[in-house]
A = this chain, B = another copy of it.
């Protein structure tokens, strides 16, 4: 017999039918009465002083209801991490795409037309696009910060010199992780509506509905309670959809006009002014003893923030030290520098810095294992953290399925046989990763999550949470957890959309935290509701609540499923006895996590840590440099998979995204201008580019997870680029260190290798 009835079983997404039939209204489908359409005039220059803006013709244009420049905004510096944002550019523009002015009009054509009537006089300034250049003496200063440095990260542990001396092998290299775009289906969009009381309601797809209000309220000069965020279904995010000026421009246009204002980025705007991945230069040196025991690791990371800071410095910090809790290290020396550049502001993308560093580390480990003459899988197995261990940074590994992931992945991939010497350009490569489920360091005020469960007369269960379903299936997972806890079928549960006027204050969907945090929050809420229901049932059945359990849609005597009352009947009676007031369970979950020490970074930052091992198999056409993905195995420690089919879907999506990054995706620029800002020129992997992907779910029960679950969002992508790089090395003997591995780069590497060998 199954331990669980709903959890651990695969269910279609509860909002899948509406999405599949086209009935779902995504953010960009919203239409409010009297709604206007906003458009933004963006800078054509990467760095320039704004001398004059003449909006007079635009204001007179047909259908135009408002034209705004910085002068129409509160001009309060703000930002989620550093206060270097303005709603509209005030003195200078700092990247091609920077927001200069905006228009609200009766339709998009009128707004677009009005944009063309705004005249801006610029005085062009020297610009800098590469972070290494930007740090040089004499480089143009973007925000008047010395050397354009936004933030630095330094960390040193153990005796590095000794660690390297004791090493049998030391490998070092420089890696470059390029700028890639999240390529969600729905570009950034919103409808902002400021009511007569001055309260802003922002309908937007945002991963952090509660937290985003804090910088927004500051930017608009409003008290926090005057900013309400409602999250309709939205078409993907992958880290990009946190704060964006688009929302604030819409808010100011609505303030000016008194009407709801819709804004929707064109795909091009979304490329040039979205929040792509932080590109990084990574210098990495790593050593090991003869037996494979890792010794020291030294890294230096230079990351480009772009023209203002979104979360780049936190992403660089994550790159600097997250992998340190994947393996046992004795000494570490880490430096991370985040630098302004005259390019699009960069931010979160699945993996949050850990993806970048995992590429470097796992590539380097492959070389290290070669130096040691050791199987790469063996090297990971030897050093990987196991259940019960505490990492060098104090991370308490409550459960680790890393070993099992490596075992199962290698077995499924035919690792032993396929590593054998090659006759042609076919190879297999392996990479591992760790990650967090939640990150105590991200919000200072608190960690944890709350949920509310309310059950009305009909016995229908409504769940409120403060996270955000960007399409990953969060709602279904929450519904399953609540259904399991209450012993009712899944279709008795509905999950309310997030609305900051109604939902718990939640941190949102990032850091692979949704299932563990939100899941525990709604589980606690369901448990509290169940407690009340069992009390009412005990009164009706004349027994003690402790004799009862909720199971199979019944409240029944423990172990006697037919001896009881239907859940619905108990709830109806309870609601009548309560004067119509529904059963409301407000629950919450507080993990035992720690804010890391500001200097040592020591502190258990997450309640759970997922692990993974992925294996790529490739074949290279050495004439063209074309890489063919032949097979892929992804074994993931997800704790208990609440919804296995959806978890596998996440794995497949992550691998596809990782392969895209490894082989083809790149935001190409010329003098700060992105030259491929569309899906014709920016190539994503299609079905034919992808190999069969075998997902293996490794399910150690995580003690802190709801029903033992961890998260899967980010780990799904983290190891993929390294797995591909290592497979390429295995296939053709060239070590690719700069993403993506385009045919041109592979041909060049093959040519250089040939030259070396000659």
Residues of chain A touching chain B, judged by Cβ–Cβ distance below 8 Å, are 17-18, 21, 23, 25, 29-31, 33, 195-197, 210, 223-225, 258, 445-452, 454, 456-458, 460, 462, 466, 494, 496, 500-502, 504-507, 517, 521, 525, 575-584, 586-590
**Inter-chain contact A446/B505, CB cutoff 8 Å:** no
Using Cβ atoms and an 8 Å threshold, which residues of chain B touch A460? Answer: 225
Using Cβ atoms and an 8 Å threshold, which residues of chain B touch A507? Answer: 580
Using Cβ atoms and an 8 Å threshold, which residues of chain B touch A588? Answer: 578-581
**Inter-chain contact B580/A501, CB cutoff 8 Å:** no
A521 to B, closest residue via Cβ? B579
| Complex: A507 Cα to B445 Cα, angstroms | 42
A14 to B, closest residue via Cβ? B197
**Inter-chain contact A579/B456, CB cutoff 8 Å:** no
User: Number of copies of this chain in the oligomer?
Assistant: 2
Chain B: minimal CB distance from A434 (Å): 24
| Complex: A502 Cα to B450 Cα, angstroms | 18
**Inter-chain contact A581/B450, CB cutoff 8 Å:** yes
Chain B: minimal CB distance from A170 (Å): 45
In the complex, the 4 A-B pairs of residues with the closest C-beta atoms, listed nearest first: A450-B581, A448-B579, A579-B588, A581-B588
Using Cβ atoms and an 8 Å threshold, which residues of chain B touch A447? Answer: 579
A583 to B, closest residue via Cβ? B586
**Inter-chain contact B25/A458, CB cutoff 8 Å:** no
Q: List 11 A-B contacts (CB under 8 A).
A: A17-B197, A223-B458, A448-B579, A450-B575, A456-B505, A462-B502, A504-B580, A505-B582, A521-B579, A579-B589, A580-B588
| Complex: A399 Cα to B293 Cα, angstroms | 86
**Inter-chain contact B33/A452, CB cutoff 8 Å:** no
| Complex: A224 Cα to B575 Cα, angstroms | 15
Using Cβ atoms and an 8 Å threshold, which residues of chain B touch A494? Answer: 501
**Inter-chain contact B590/A579, CB cutoff 8 Å:** yes
From A456, A575, A583, residue with most partner B Cβ within 10 Å? A456
**Inter-chain contact A446/B582, CB cutoff 8 Å:** no
**Inter-chain contact B196/A446, CB cutoff 8 Å:** no
Using Cβ atoms and an 8 Å threshold, which residues of chain B touch A496? Answer: 502
A227 to B, closest residue via Cβ? B458
**Inter-chain contact B457/A580, CB cutoff 8 Å:** no
Using Cβ atoms and an 8 Å threshold, which residues of chain B touch A454? Answer: 452, 502
Using Cβ atoms and an 8 Å threshold, which residues of chain B touch A582? Answer: 450, 452, 504-505, 586
Using Cβ atoms and an 8 Å threshold, which residues of chain B touch A25? Answer: 33
**Inter-chain contact A575/B458, CB cutoff 8 Å:** no
Chain B: minimal CB distance from A305 (Å): 29
| Complex: A445 Cα to B575 Cα, angstroms | 10
**Inter-chain contact B18/A504, CB cutoff 8 Å:** no
Using Cβ atoms and an 8 Å threshold, which residues of chain B touch A587? Answer: 581
Chain B: minimal CB distance from A453 (Å): 10
Using Cβ atoms and an 8 Å threshold, which residues of chain B touch A581? Answer: 449-452, 504-505, 521, 525, 586-588
Contacts A33-B30, A581-B525, A582-B586 given: A17-B445 contact, CB under 8 Å?
no
A501 to B, closest residue via Cβ? B462
| Complex: A50 Cα to B156 Cα, angstroms | 91
Using Cβ atoms and an 8 Å threshold, which residues of chain B touch A196? Answer: 17-18, 21, 23
| Complex: A66 Cα to B501 Cα, angstroms | 38
A467 to B, closest residue via Cβ? B580
| Complex: A37 Cα to B456 Cα, angstroms | 32
**Inter-chain contact A576/B445, CB cutoff 8 Å:** yes
From A18, A29, A210, A502, residue with most partner B Cβ within 10 Å? A502
| Complex: A494 Cα to B201 Cα, angstroms | 15
Chain B: minimal CB distance from A210 (Å): 7
A575 to B, closest residue via Cβ? B505
Chain B: minimal CB distance from A479 (Å): 14
**Inter-chain contact A577/B446, CB cutoff 8 Å:** yes
| Complex: A582 Cα to B501 Cα, angstroms | 11
A582 to B, closest residue via Cβ? B504
| Complex: A46 Cα to B576 Cα, angstroms | 42
Chain B: minimal CB distance from A535 (Å): 14
Contacts A452-B581, A581-B504 given: A18-B197 contact, CB under 8 Å?
yes
| Complex: A500 Cα to B446 Cα, angstroms | 33
| Complex: A466 Cα to B577 Cα, angstroms | 15
Chain B: minimal CB distance from A331 (Å): 37
Chain B: minimal CB distance from A576 (Å): 4
| Complex: A258 Cα to B449 Cα, angstroms | 37
**Inter-chain contact B584/A448, CB cutoff 8 Å:** no
Chain B: minimal CB distance from A468 (Å): 13
Using Cβ atoms and an 8 Å threshold, which residues of chain B touch A21? Answer: 196
A457 to B, closest residue via Cβ? B505
| Complex: A18 Cα to B223 Cα, angstroms | 20
Contacts A18-B195, A33-B31 given: A450-B224 contact, CB under 8 Å?
no
| Complex: A339 Cα to B602 Cα, angstroms | 83
**Inter-chain contact B17/A225, CB cutoff 8 Å:** no
Using Cβ atoms and an 8 Å threshold, which residues of chain B touch A29? Answer: 33
Contacts A197-B17, A584-B584 given: A224-B589 contact, CB under 8 Å?
no
| Complex: A507 Cα to B584 Cα, angstroms | 19
Chain B: minimal CB distance from A220 (Å): 15
A591 to B, closest residue via Cβ? B579
Using Cβ atoms and an 8 Å threshold, which residues of chain B touch A33? Answer: 25, 29-31
Chain B: minimal CB distance from A284 (Å): 37
Using Cβ atoms and an 8 Å threshold, which residues of chain B touch A466? Answer: 580
